Structure formats: structure tokens, C-alpha cells
Chain A
Amino acid sequence: MTEHGFSMRARVAGIGVVGPGMSDWSGMRERLLADSGQPLTPTQIPNPEGLPPTERRRVGKVVKLALAAGLGACRDSGIDPAGPATVFASSGGDGENCHAICELLAGEDRRISPIRFHNSVNNAASGYWGIATGAQTGSSVLSAFDGSFVVGLMEAFALVATDGEPVLLVTYDHPYPSPLNECRPLGPAFGVGLLLAVEGGSGPVLNLRGLGCAPADRLADPVLEALRRSVPAARCLPLLRALAGGVAASVALESLNGQTLIVEVQP
């Protein structure tokens, strides 16, 4: 235990990934193990399954990214997406929608479209997740700048510990359009879903050991390391690398203000 340590365990029952050069966990795992340094192709965000056509036309790319990552994790685990409680963690919101609203409000005619307005809430992905999957479970939506993955992971573990039921953590970030992009530059669209459950089934076990000052782990592959550094949601990549490797490991994941979360991985 570190000075401010704790020990919280949960099992990874499924993983979904949507990112540059990868559309699922097997693609991500292959790339993590290859250490190839090859450039990544642009992120392809699939159309969301489950949403009625009218709703599908309304959702932005950020929501599609989150839904695809979450559905991927459910598919990987064989769990019905209506079942788990959810945690959505992102550094920011729907930049394109925000840009359109701010442009409009800077003009004379300020009549915002109702759909733009309700899509502007930071829990849009959570709301559309419920509509797409029928999940009536509680849904946490958290943001902690570059440390969003770590607080999302802590919230998901707390939910597993409290309720003993599977919890889906979806972490995602999508770059902003100009001029917001210049205020908050983000790398390519990247989303990851982790289906977490109590121990006692198949899948590797994670043990959260505490926040501390150890330096954050980096990736040997310079292209993946650049992805990790440029996208808050990709701060989870050292954990995914350990999961891909399938051997016992301890990783330090970047949180806020120079802190890291220590996570032990037991395959």
C-alpha cells in the first residue's frame, strides 16, 4: 500500500475500442503487442446500433464514438447492454455542437435548434445510451480534464463494490473544430469501453492501489505514446498494454496535477 493507498478489485469482463487504426479490442491488442511505430489511420466512427432512425440522425460524432466503444465492450463480454450501470468519462463535450451554438449566439438571430440545445448537455452520450439500449440503470458522467479516465475508473470500481453488479465504463474524447481546437488541442477521436464486474469469472483482475506521485507509464511505440499524450481518454493505454500482454503487471496511469493511479493487473 502506498501512503494514501487502497485496494479495490474488479474483473475486466469485456473491452471495446474505437480509435485511430483500430475498430475493436482485437485490433487494439494486436497493435499494442506489435510495437511497430507505424502511423495510424484516421478513426472510423460507426453508426450506432439500436437507435431509432430519427434519433440516429440527431446524434453527434462524440455520442456515436461513446456508444460504439460501450457496445463493443458489451459485445466482447457477452453482456446485454441494458444491464450494467454506466460511467461516462470524458475531458470535454461535443465540440461541434458547442461551436455551432456559440456562433449562433454571437449573431443576431439566437434561436437555437431544440435538438442542438438538448444535445449540448454533457450527459448526451449517457442519455442516448439509455435510448439505444433501454438501460434504466444509474449513469455517472464525470470529467476531470486530462485525468478523466482515472476518475471514471474510480467511480466504476466504487459502483462495482457498492452494488456487486457489472458496470460499464466508457471513456472517450473527440477533437474540437476550430477555433475551439486552438484553445484545447486534442488528438484523434478515441473511445474505450471497459465492462467491469466482481471477481469470480473469466477475465483479468485489476486492483486499484492508490493515487501517488510515481511518474505515469509511457508506451514504447512512439506513435501510441503520442496518442496517449494527445488524448485524455488514451491515458488508459498503459493499462490496455498490460491487459494485451496477459502477464502480471503494475501500471501508473496519469491523473490530474502530476498524480498517477497505480493499478495492478492479474491476468
Chain B
Amino acid sequence: MKRIAVTKHTLTTCLGRGNEAHREALVSGRSGLAARAFEDVDLDTWIGMVEGLDAPPPADGASPRACRNNRLAALALEQDGFLDAARDAVSRYGAARVAVYLGTSTSGILETELAYRTRDPLNGQLPSWLDYRASHSISSLAECVSRIVGTTGPLAVISTACSSSAKAFATAARQMACGLVDAAIVGGVDTLCLTTLYGFNSLELLAKGPCRPFDRHREGLSIGEAAAFALLEPDVPASLWLSGYGESSDAYHMSSPHPEARGALQAMDAALARAALAPSEIDYINLHGTATPSSDLAEGKAVAQRFGTTVPASSTKGATGHTLGAAGGVEAVLCLLALENGLIPGSVGLIEADPAIRIGLEPVTRRARPRNVLTNSFGFGGTNCSLIFARAGQEGGHD
């Protein structure tokens, strides 16, 4: 495919707000996971919480119950000059030519969960403060971001569980390539809620301590919340590029990965083909690596089959937690930071690598000069998406 410029990017996770906090966290091997309270959740698990979301929203007329997910979206847009860059793109391309394609898995469901606690005892109705379109509605995130930025072009939420925000890049890329839109704001936002915490708990997929992707003693995932955004533009001077994407479906089971990770392999192969790269030309793989026993094992098989043991790889979920619908966007931006800053991110939480998984796991972050990096995102329903990002230009152009 014709590569697409990534002209701005930012992310906010439990590691902090903006790119610099994340560069520092990658270099120092810091984790943002903690055993801490969220609402009245009574589970023995660690979470990756973003500070400042419980505070009342800014005095802009928003209702006191404006949803946590869109509060995080607004907070993250303010970091790294992303909002200014997005508005600048609107002024250059025209509001109608800038798309907003964002991923989320749970949108503002937390507000509905809380509203169900205060139903009218007589008629069962939900409280009047619940604003469905601005919270629960799947598309509320894209509507919110479009309104803040000032776009009038196509907008949608891509909601495919934990591949959502990776697939947002793919949707934007193909719609830009065929001229439906000129530029796009992509990425995703997902925030803590009771459905995912209790849901993963009922599947016995939550770790008790911080998650440990690809460790032989891994016992499950840690849920986090995050927002990540990228601005995609066609032919403009840029140092970072989206050069490939690949998508597939397992067609196997709703919540278990295909044991041979058939779909994961298809998605990685499709991304390599689009980028016209051989597996040996990939310098770093950001693994989906949720730290559940079966999913790391399956992904490991697919990565070993295509990339062997020599391509550096890590999961960053030990640092951020699994941010579900935001994970693809978060890990895309972490890949962009790795390209920009000359880093191979390490595996926070990894103590002893699972001997059954023979891939090039990187234990600690080190300096290097990656040119092409691949990131995997897989989700319930057997959805798979791989993205490839590239650093442009001459050797020595960045560091």
C-alpha cells in the first residue's frame, strides 16, 4: 500500500499523560499498575487507572455525569499539542474531509451501570441524568471527539473488543487511499467499568497481582484504561508512517483464541504483504500479550512461526495493563515512540520467560534503531489486526 503519514500522536494511560511520560516509563521499565480501589469493586486484582478522571468535568456546561470515557478522551486530546494539530488539519483539508474513526469496547457503559443502581422504585425507569447518546451509545466517543476538534466528515466508532482501535487505523487508511476522506483522527479510548472487571473475573482471566505477559507463571491480565490518538495524513513530509495493516477472523470461538493462532498469523502476513516487507525486516514486535495463559501461548506460536526467535518482541501490557478497546491505539503510539526515540521496549512484569514460547522476548528496554515495527491486537469474537509503522528518512535523522 501507499504509506500514510502519522503527523501527530499522543497517549494517556496509567503511566501518565502524554508522550514524554511514556518515553520515560519505557526507558525506566516503570509499571503504572496498582492494587487500588475503583468504585465499589471488591475483586482481588490490580488495575491501571488514569489519575484525574473522577474529578468533576470542566465548567463547560457538561452535565456532572458526563461520561468517564469521554472525559478521558478530552483530557488526552489536550496533551502533546494534539488538539491544535487536529484543528490545523481541519483548517487545511476542510472540516468535511477529516474523518474521526476511533475504537472503544465499552464506551460510557459505566454511567449506565451506575444508573441501574438508582432506578425508580415504582416504574423501574433510569435516572434523568443518564444521557444515552453522550455516554452509553457506542458512537459517543467519536461524536465527542468530532465535536471538540470541529470536524464534519465521516465519523464512527469501531468496536471489535480488544482490536477496536488498531482496526480504526485500517479503516482510516483504506478510506484515505480511495479518496473518501483526506485525513483522519484515529486511535481509541476505553475506561474502567464494572462489566469488564467482573466479566474477566468470571472467565477467571484476571491476575491477582500485576500481569506478567509471557512469564511462565503468568496467571491472567490486569485491566487498564487509556486514550491514544494519531493524526493520519496523505503525502506530507513526515518522519513516521503507517506502512501496513492486516485483518482477519479466527472463525473459531467467541472468547478463546484459535490454538494455533491461525487468525493472528493471517493478520501479520497481510500486514507484511501490504508493507512489502519480509519478516526479517521487522525490527520490533509489540505483542498483544495479555498475560492470559492460552492467549500468550497461541500468539507465541504464530510469532515463532513467522519471525523465529531473533526478532525483538515484547508486550507492554505489564506497564499499561490491558486497555481493551484502547490497546491497539496505545500500542501503536508506543511503537511510534520506539521509532522516534530509538528504543526497543522491554517486557515489564516478565521474570522468567515461558520456555514453551520460543520468540525473541526482550526483557528490558534498550537503545536501538528500529525502522519497521509491527503491533498485534486481537479480541473476543476472534478478531485480529496487525499494524506496521515505519520511520522514514536517512540514518541519523532521528534519535
Tell me the complex Cα distance, A140–B109, Å. Answer: 21
Docked-complex contact B160 and A141, CB < 8 angstroms: yes
- Which residue in chain B gives the minimum CB-CB distance to A110? B198
Given contact pairs A144-B157, A154-B180, A162-B177, A112 touches B249 in the complex (Cβ within 8 A): no
Contact of A124 among B136, B143, B170, B381 (CB under 8 A): B381
The interface centre, meaning the residue of B194, B251, B263 with most chain A CB atoms within 10 A of its CB, is B251
B28 to chain A, nearest CB (A): 35
Given contact pairs A113-B202, A119-B254, A123-B159, A158 touches B383 in the complex (Cβ within 8 A): no
Contact of B382 among A112, A113, A127, A162 (CB under 8 A): A127
Docked-complex contact B152 and A259, CB < 8 angstroms: yes
**B203 at interface by CB-CB < 8 Å:** yes
The A/B interface has a contact count, at CB < 8 Å, of: 216
**B96 at interface by CB-CB < 8 Å:** yes
Tell me the complex Cα distance, A92–B199, Å. Answer: 20
Q: A208 — which chain B residues lie within 8 A by C-beta?
A: 180
Tell me the complex Cα distance, A229–B116, Å. Answer: 28
B214 to chain A, nearest CB (A): 24
Docked-complex contact B157 and A142, CB < 8 angstroms: yes
Q: A172 — which chain B residues lie within 8 A by C-beta?
A: none
A17 to chain B, nearest CB (A): 23
The interface centre, meaning the residue of B125, B156, B174, B252 with most chain A CB atoms within 10 A of its CB, is B156
**B322 at interface by CB-CB < 8 Å:** no
- Which residue in chain B gives the minimum CB-CB distance to A161? B178
Docked-complex contact B125 and A182, CB < 8 angstroms: yes
Q: Which of A28-36, A69-77, A129-137, A240-248 contacts B (4 or more CB under 8 A)?
A: A129-137
Q: A124 — which chain B residues lie within 8 A by C-beta?
A: 254, 381
Interface size class of A (residues with CB under 8 A): 35 or more
Docked-complex contact B133 and A122, CB < 8 angstroms: no
Which chain B residues in 98-148 approach chain A with CB under 8 Å?
A: 105, 109, 112-113, 116-117, 119, 124-126, 130, 132-133, 136-139, 142-143
**A226 at interface by CB-CB < 8 Å:** no
Contact of A123 among B97, B160, B201 (CB under 8 A): B160
Residue interface bits A239-267, CB-to-B below 8 A is 1, else 0: 00000000000000001110100000000
Docked-complex contact A105 and B195, CB < 8 angstroms: yes
Residue interface bits B279-320, CB-to-A below 8 A is 1, else 0: 000000000000000000000000000000000000000000
Residue interface bits A107-131, CB-to-B below 8 A is 1, else 0: 0001111101111111110111011
Contact of A106 among B113, B199, B382 (CB under 8 A): B113
Residue interface bits B144-177, CB-to-A below 8 A is 1, else 0: 0000000011111111110000010011001101
Tell me the complex Cα distance, A24–B323, Å. Answer: 41
Tell me the complex Cα distance, A208–B154, Å. Answer: 13
Contact of B96 among A4, A118, A120, A179 (CB under 8 A): A4
Which chain B residues in 203-258 approach chain A with CB under 8 Å?
A: 203, 246-255
A54 to chain B, nearest CB (A): 11
Given contact pairs A6-B179, A143-B159, A145-B139, A117 touches B250 in the complex (Cβ within 8 A): no
Given A106-B119, A179-B125; 6 other pairs, CB 8 A cutoff: A58-B254, A105-B198, A111-B201, A112-B198, A131-B253, A145-B137
**Pairs across A and B, CB under 8 Å, 6 listed:** A106-B113, A119-B254, A130-B249, A151-B154, A154-B175, A158-B177
